[in-house]
Amino acid sequence: MNRHAELGHMLLPWAIGLFVVAGAEWAWFRWRERMLSSPSARRAVTAALAVVVCAVAAGALVLIVLIGDSGARAVWGG
C-alpha cells in the first residue's frame, strides 16, 4: 500500500506539467500567426511543441498505469 501512495504523490507534478503544455499548445495554435511570420519557424515550433506534449502525456500515462497496478496489487495481492 505504501508504494501505491508514493506513486500517487508523484502524479501531481505530471498533471501540472500536462496542464501547462496543453495551455501552451492552445496558446500556440490560437496566436501562432501573430507570433512568427516565417512558415518554417512556425512548423519547427509546432513540431517541438508536439514532441514535448507527447513526452509529458506518455510520462503521465505510464505513471497512471503504475499507480493502478500497485493499487491492484495492494488490494488483491498477499
Per-residue pLDDT tens over the stretch 17-66: 999 999 999 999 999 888 888 999 999 999 999 999 999 999 999 999 99
**How many domains is the chain built from?**
1
Residue 6 maps to a domain:
no
Residue 64 maps to a domain:
yes
Residues 6+ apart with CB under 8 A from 71: 4
Check pLDDT > 90 for residue 78. no
Which set of grid coordinates corresponds to residue 18?
500536462
pTM to 2 decimal places:
0.83
Q: Which domain holds residue 36?
A: 14-72
For residue 23, give Cα distances in angstroms to 28, 41, 55, 60: 8, 20, 15, 16
Residue 27 maps to a domain:
yes
What pLDDT is attached to residue 33?
Answer: 85
Please state, in angstroms and rounded to a whole number, the distance separating the CA atoms of residues 5 and 22.
Answer: 26
Residue 30 maps to a domain:
yes
What pLDDT is attached to residue 3?
Answer: 87
Residue 56 maps to a domain:
yes
pLDDT bin (cut points 50, 70, 90) of residue 69 is: very high
